[in-house]
Structure 1
Amino acid sequence: MRPILRLSLLLGAAVPVVAAPAVTAPPLDTHRIARDRFGNDAPWYENRIPFFASADPKLDAVYYYRWSLFRAHQRDLGADGYISTEFLDDVGWQLEPYASLNDATGFHLGEGRWLRDRRFADDYIDFMYRRGNDRHFTDYMADSVYGRFLVDGDKAGAIRHLTAMRRLYAAWNDHFDTSKGLYWVEPLLDATEYTISSIDASGGKDGFRGGDSFRPSINAYMYANARAIARLSTLTGDTAGAAEYDARAAAIKARVQASLWSEPLGHFIDRYKVDNAFVKYWAPIRGRELVGYLPWTFDLADDDAKFAAAWTHLLARDGLGGPAGMRTVEPSYEHYMRQYRYEGTAPECQWNGPIWPFQTTQVLAGIANLLDHYHQSTVTRGDYMRLLRQYAALHYQGDRLDLEEDYHPDTGRPIVGLARSHHYFHSGFADLILTGLVGIRPRADDMLEVNPLLPGAADPQGLAWFRMQDVPYHGHNIAVTWDVDGRHYGGTPGLTIEIDGRRVAHSPTLSRLVVPVARAAVPRRDRPIDRPIDRAVQLVRGAFPKGSASGATDAENVHDAIDGRVWFFPELANGWSSAKVPAASSSKPSPQSSPKPSAPQWYAVDFGKPVTVSRAELAFFADGKDFVAPRSLRIQIWDGTRWTPLGAPATPVANGITAVGWTPVSTSKIRVSFPQAPAKRTRLVEFKVF
């Protein structure tokens, strides 16, 4: 066997090294892991997600939980494809009728770019640039689209919305102050209500609205979007367009560093756009906020020791580094953790101190950049792993995994705790594992770069071993393995990279590895991603297709089975929940407990016109208590006079997908009929028809 060439880089200095040949690590048993982690829903994940195992079982558990969170937030819009939602269920400020919100798009695409099934990110990008991005909030979507290109290498997919990107970028001119060369925003529309700027602009009385400011966030986002548009323009050969947006990015970078850096605070801060009795235009805010680290998240900050010293505030227990997580504001602020807003008696969202997974994700991404390609000694790899584990711990509510909106920085307990807060998708985690801990640093060229951000073996925050596999990259399947002494995987100690099952690089120690990877073809419009269209989905209540059911016919209850949402989390009901069938030995049933025990339950969809259908996917929820899956089901179609069965009866699965197929047939109505266990209920999470 010929030796394998390894190319090792340290902050840009390339040193070729010859690595000894060795066998690859044994692959993870992905089928077993998927069954253990996801139960009956395992088929959705098995051929889609990258699989991960490490010496830290809690990191592993949160990693897989975050993929279940991603899956739960994929809403099927039918002909409009899939989008990612921020809240599982509806909220009053979403874009109707889709339930989309643009502030979390960066996290959604950051996670979704690592799926081998490219439909979810692809559909989402199409939707957001066609109609979904209403600028309700600030965002860095163009940067996220470019970030996806760095993983999948699909040039055509990356550039197809370039015109819309430029149009959306220009629309933000209404938040640009030409005299200062900076963007401004009301903190609420930055998805961060009750910040220092908005509270102080109210004289300390409120802070939900108001406080318009030049913020590190919106300017870092616009910098990142300009840089992305420049790079995408280069891919099209538009050198003038690239130069224009490079110049925009450079101008924002210069102004942020000159004007939003506070020498007294040693931190990037807001300056006021508003001018009133309490605050003055261009005056700086009077405290440090976590948002001040976003210049590193997007590589805006120069590699300067003066700027890097700002990270000491994050490591300080009396600063931004709370015992349980990152504080959004330092405790020295006068209105730190003062609760202003409630829903009834329940605390509502605020950014005056609580931990937010949103900014925790952004700051951890900034630390990863800092450790990967900045020269500094303030933050260590041990710090990164400690903060990553601290973040992972927030996902646990006792032994149960359920990420909520915000947390108390001293206890790590949820603050808001409203029904909408369960399994909240306004952050990232899988991307942090892939790009930080494992250290896959996606690139635009035909190279694969890996630089795990683990400390040495003697550090208590280190990991003795990990393996990440089934990672899509430039049309290939890659795996990264670390085994400190070779004992866990029974091979050579060190760090190993595999491409398409073949070992291509190895280092006996943790180090940066860079190897060539020839770009392979990825699906494009002429070789489309598989996009089956759900004919039953309905976003607008009362329109066709319409649902109906054998009982429990509240309009919202019935509609929930065809709203394009599939999740099996018990904390938040989803789907049509039937009435309870009484036990056979019970007395005369009450009207509320109809239908009769002998009558089957059914759920029907009226398409409003004839459509051709050939298969269905049904999702049933079970909790081992009140709700159980049916023992069998039958698909039926309306032939104009009666319901006619299609094919043979099927056996449903609980908390997973039951697929039923038949010879294509045209019909205007379809239904599923099933017996229901006595004294139990059925919850049909979703009834999809193709």
Structure 2
Amino acid sequence: MLTLSTALSLALAATALNVNTITSKYFGNDAPWYRDRIPLFETDQTVLQDVYYYRWGVFRAHQRDLGAEGYLTTEFLNDVSWQKSPWALLIDASNFHLREGRWSRDRRFTSDYGNFLFGPNGIQNQFSESLADGVWQVYLVDGVADDATSHLSAMQSFFQGWNSTTLGVGGYDSRKGLYWIQPLTDATEYTISSIDATNGTDGFTGGYSFRPSINSYQYANARAIAQLAELTGDTAVADQYNAYADTLQRLVQADLWNSTFSHFIDRYEVSNEYVTYWDFIRGRELVGYVPWAHDLPDDNATYAAAWSHVLDSDKLAGTHGLRTNEPSYQYYMVQYRYEGTHPECQWNGPAWPYQTTQVLTALANLLDHYPKSAATGVINQADYTQILLQYARLHYNPARGGILDVEEDYYADTGSPIVGLTRSPHYFHSGFVDVILSGFVGLRPRADNVLEVNPQADGGTVSYFRAERLLYHGHEVAVQWDATGSHYGKAGLYVEVDGTTVASASKLTRLTANIPRAAPPTVDRPIAVSVQLGTTTEYPAGSVSVAGADADDVHAAIDGRVWFYPETDVANGWDSPAGNGTEIWYQIDFGSATQTGRAEVAFFANATQGYAVPTSYRIEQLDGDSWTAVSNATYDKPLANGITNASWQTAQTSQVRLVFTPTKGEKVRLVEWKVFSS
């Protein structure tokens, strides 16, 4: 007999999204990379859907393969002078990277990234950070305790590192029990504190202050360390770090809340002829919402009043984005810094995806589990949805013909990018996937065996959405909303686990279900033996048959980075000359005998720019003093803007060559050539 629950599950199964159709639509020939790695999402709010998949493309582009060191997530596509080389490490946005990556069905990226951040080549105090919290947030989704707890010792070292009094750019003030930082080291140069500390003449450096940001990050890190310690049974460490967190929570609320502004704002740590130690800065900044992003404030109407400012067009609400401070500030949008004639990054008013992500995360927290604050009606789900839609629209770049391209900062009143340098396109300095899945869709990650869903999507705006293939605590989860039943054939909110409906409601509301924890899929870690971290790294080393080739471009074809964006300022790889019927080769010297047996080749193609895949290719190996074709080879047809696979009988060799013939009159761009041992 067909029961009601079985019939409902069958009906919902019929609404499942088609992974092949969707990934092919959004990713073209590169779709195979995404098919088993990302959750699917659709909604009648198509701007959210389109940006959601675009942001998975950004995530993919910023996964840098380091070979034996695993994967690292980068911030810029192009190298910048202030990264830690040769890995291209910047940690200011790492919490966003980890929160985005926790929804990938392939745990390798977050697992490897955590290993790197807290490993021997990680870096402390490069910027303010919430790395321990980021790893904890990953654990809340994947449930793999061993990955997270393995970093406990390093996490404590990072936390205690901020207690130094000799850093010069940040530290701990024992007189106040709070952390201070230079805004530049907080990744937010040209704030009120740094500008006013120079009497309005500059603000790139200096302006040391007790900020809501670093104190919230340290609070979140302390809570994460305590919770991870509890998983290992180390109650002493748990008690120690919970005590740190309790103290920070009390002092941030007592000392950084300004009743005149009804906002969390900076106090100066520096004294000079213009500013005085412990004085408040003279205005509101968007950074004042960061405490809610980490659940620091108490739930009351006093603190909830701060959320009115983000809706006020005279304060922090711009027409096209959230302002980082208010137009009433004396130096609002005054441009101090340039690269040539191009404006450089500043935080004295521009809209930044970085802090917009923090605001949306904070607001989802407030609406989800701050009942007294939500009950004030200062801000609601309709406001959340409109801010999210505004943020999504900011991803369309009018300076590049309206393409999807998230950049560094924007004019809040026009939506146009401000900086727009060659380093700026497809900038991974913010989040979006996590905002959609944990906020809009409302899957609220938890440490216990409860699946909780509480969508913050506004039912008066959003007609339908569905998210599926969410790998949560080892289970396949889907969340579906249809206001009228006209899209999916069934009205209401439904939560599915492993294909079975476990909870439902007629409206957008909180739903919970008990689910036993299951082991997630194991991590597959093939190691590319071909990756050269930097041009000065001796081996592996690339060379080409074309005289006068640029060394940086040659290196780019084996640097572990893959993307196919057509914008010329983020071109990636080595370009051959236009084809004339002759063969060209790209050679990798491993420096010693190395086993090889498989390759992934990424070719870029763009007819307008004169690039096409080669007409043919093969792989050769150095055998003694002679080059010979690899044995028993299987070659995929060359694929444009995707991965071309090749395999052969494993063999030991010190050098390999990719030999190819460009199409007549067309160049070949070799984006990346990865070689594996098997």
* Partner SS, residue 543 of structure 2: strand
Match runs of 1:491-506 below 5 Å: 492-506=490-504
| Partners of 1:454 and 1:604 in 2: CA distance | 52
Equivalence for 1:577: 575
Q: Which of residues 40, 54, 57 is equivalent to 2:43? A: 54
| Partners of 1:614 and 1:206 in 2: CA distance | 57
Cα deviation digits, residues 473-514 of structure 1 (max 9, x gap): 001110001011112112x21001111111111111111100
| Partners of 1:649 and 1:504 in 2: CA distance | 46
| Partners of 2:635 and 2:228 in 1: CA distance | 52
Give the TM-score of the pair, scaled to structure 1.
Answer: 0.93
| Partners of 2:28 and 2:402 in 1: CA distance | 18
1:550 aligns with 2:545: yes
Cα deviation digits, residues 180-202 of structure 1 (max 9, x gap): 01000000000000000000001
Give the AA of the match of 1:117.
D
Match runs of 1:188-587 below 5 Å: 188-374=184-370, 375=372, 376=374, 377-397=377-397, 398-456=401-459, 459=460, 462-490=461-489, 492-522=490-520, 529-542=523-536, 543-551=538-546, 553-571=549-567, 572-581=570-579
| Partners of 1:133 and 1:215 in 2: CA distance | 22
| Partners of 1:541 and 1:110 in 2: CA distance | 31
Cα deviation digits, residues 293-338 of structure 1 (max 9, x gap): 1111111011110111011111000100100100001000000000
| Partners of 2:64 and 2:480 in 1: CA distance | 34
| Partners of 2:520 and 2:442 in 1: CA distance | 23
1:32 aligns with 2:21: yes
| Partners of 2:544 and 2:10 in 1: CA distance | 61
Once the 2 structures are TM-superposed, how far is the Cα of residue 21 of structure 1 from its aligned partner? Answer: 7.5
| Partners of 1:545 and 1:648 in 2: CA distance | 24
| Partners of 1:623 and 1:129 in 2: CA distance | 40
1:118 aligns with 2:107: yes
Q: Which of residues 602, 608, 611 is equivalent to 2:591? A: 608
Equivalence for 1:585: none
| Partners of 1:650 and 1:550 in 2: CA distance | 23
Equivalence for 1:687: 673
| Partners of 2:123 and 2:18 in 1: CA distance | 40
| Partners of 1:451 and 1:529 in 2: CA distance | 30
Q: Residue 40 of structure 1 contacts residue 655 of structure 1 at CA under 8 Å; is this kept in 2?
A: yes
Q: Residue 634 of structure 1 contacts residue 648 of structure 1 at CA under 8 Å; is this kept in 2?
A: no
Q: Residue 635 of structure 2 contacts residue 647 of structure 2 at CA under 8 Å; is this kept in 1?
A: no
* Partner SS, residue 222 of structure 1: helix
Q: Residue 635 of structure 1 contacts residue 649 of structure 1 at CA under 8 Å; is this kept in 2?
A: no
Equivalence for 1:146: 136
Once the 2 structures are TM-superposed, how far is the Cα of residue 522 of structure 1 from its aligned partner? Answer: 3.0
| Partners of 1:92 and 1:384 in 2: CA distance | 37
Q: Residue 112 of structure 1 contacts residue 120 of structure 1 at CA under 8 Å; is this kept in 2?
A: yes
Q: Residue 69 of structure 1 contacts residue 423 of structure 1 at CA under 8 Å; is this kept in 2?
A: yes
| Partners of 1:664 and 1:22 in 2: CA distance | 47
Q: Residue 634 of structure 2 contacts residue 648 of structure 2 at CA under 8 Å; is this kept in 1?
A: no
| Partners of 2:10 and 2:670 in 1: CA distance | 51
Once the 2 structures are TM-superposed, how far is the Cα of residue 24 of structure 1 from its aligned partner? Answer: 1.8
1:617 aligns with 2:593: no
Equivalence for 1:586: none
| Partners of 1:271 and 1:239 in 2: CA distance | 34
| Partners of 1:641 and 1:343 in 2: CA distance | 50
* Partner SS, residue 224 of structure 2: helix
Give the AA of the match of 2:12.
T
Give the TM-score of the pair, scaled to structure 2.
Answer: 0.95
* Partner SS, residue 190 of structure 1: coil
1:630 aligns with 2:614: yes
Once the 2 structures are TM-superposed, how far is the Cα of residue 134 of structure 1 from its aligned partner? Answer: 2.9
Once the 2 structures are TM-superposed, how far is the Cα of residue 97 of structure 1 from its aligned partner? Answer: 0.8
* Partner SS, residue 542 of structure 2: strand
Q: Residue 631 of structure 1 contacts residue 651 of structure 1 at CA under 8 Å; is this kept in 2?
A: no
Q: Residue 324 of structure 1 contacts residue 411 of structure 1 at CA under 8 Å; is this kept in 2?
A: yes
1:673 aligns with 2:659: yes
Change in 2 beyond 3 A, CA 1:43/1:283: same
| Partners of 1:645 and 1:120 in 2: CA distance | 34
Cα deviation digits, residues 387-433 of structure 1 (max 9, x gap): 00000011112431110000001100000000000000000000000
| Partners of 2:5 and 2:381 in 1: CA distance | 28
Once the 2 structures are TM-superposed, how far is the Cα of residue 540 of structure 1 from its aligned partner? Answer: 2.7
Q: Residue 323 of structure 2 contacts residue 351 of structure 2 at CA under 8 Å; is this kept in 1?
A: yes
Equivalence for 1:178: 174
1:135 aligns with 2:119: no
Aligned-pair identity in percent equals: 55
| Partners of 1:448 and 1:352 in 2: CA distance | 41
Cα deviation digits, residues 32-70 of structure 1 (max 9, x gap): 100110000000000010000111111111000000000
RMSD over aligned CA atoms reads 1.4
| Partners of 2:34 and 2:670 in 1: CA distance | 21
Cα deviation digits, residues 257-314 of structure 1 (max 9, x gap): 1100111111100000011011000010000000001111111011110111011111
Q: Residue 545 of structure 1 contacts residue 608 of structure 1 at CA under 8 Å; is this kept in 2?
A: yes
Give the AA of the match of 1:449.
E
Equivalence for 1:654: 640
* Partner SS, residue 496 of structure 1: strand
| Partners of 1:48 and 1:518 in 2: CA distance | 23
For structure 1, the residue ranges without an aligned partner over 5 or more in a row are 6-18, 582-596
Once the 2 structures are TM-superposed, how far is the Cα of residue 179 of structure 1 from its aligned partner? Answer: 0.7
Q: Residue 633 of structure 1 contacts residue 651 of structure 1 at CA under 8 Å; is this kept in 2?
A: no
| Partners of 1:115 and 1:389 in 2: CA distance | 23
| Partners of 1:654 and 1:531 in 2: CA distance | 25
* Partner SS, residue 23 of structure 1: helix
Once the 2 structures are TM-superposed, how far is the Cα of residue 570 of structure 1 from its aligned partner? Answer: 1.5
| Partners of 1:195 and 1:518 in 2: CA distance | 47
Once the 2 structures are TM-superposed, how far is the Cα of residue 346 of structure 1 from its aligned partner? Answer: 0.4
Cα deviation digits, residues 645-673 of structure 1 (max 9, x gap): 12255421011000100110111111111
For structure 2, the residue ranges without an aligned partner over 5 or more in a row are 165-170
Q: Residue 2 of structure 1 contacts residue 21 of structure 1 at CA under 8 Å; is this kept in 2?
A: no
Give the AA of the match of 2:532.
Q
| Partners of 1:522 and 1:381 in 2: CA distance | 33
Paired residues, what number?
Answer: 653
1:44 aligns with 2:33: yes
Once the 2 structures are TM-superposed, how far is the Cα of residue 22 of structure 1 from its aligned partner? Answer: 7.1
Once the 2 structures are TM-superposed, how far is the Cα of residue 20 of structure 1 from its aligned partner? Answer: 8.1
Q: Residue 585 of structure 2 contacts residue 660 of structure 2 at CA under 8 Å; is this kept in 1?
A: yes
| Partners of 2:581 and 2:439 in 1: CA distance | 57
Once the 2 structures are TM-superposed, how far is the Cα of residue 640 of structure 1 from its aligned partner? Answer: 2.1
| Partners of 1:258 and 1:601 in 2: CA distance | 68
Equivalence for 1:587: none
Equivalence for 2:581: 598
| Partners of 2:60 and 2:124 in 1: CA distance | 24
Q: Residue 87 of structure 1 contacts residue 424 of structure 1 at CA under 8 Å; is this kept in 2?
A: yes
Q: Residue 124 of structure 2 contacts residue 161 of structure 2 at CA under 8 Å; is this kept in 1?
A: no
Give the AA of the match of 1:101.
L
* Partner SS, residue 102 of structure 1: coil
* Partner SS, residue 28 of structure 1: coil
Equivalence for 2:168: none
Cα deviation digits, residues 546-579 of structure 1 (max 9, x gap): 1011225111111110111101112211011112
| Partners of 2:601 and 2:197 in 1: CA distance | 52
| Partners of 2:219 and 2:447 in 1: CA distance | 19
* Partner SS, residue 409 of structure 1: coil
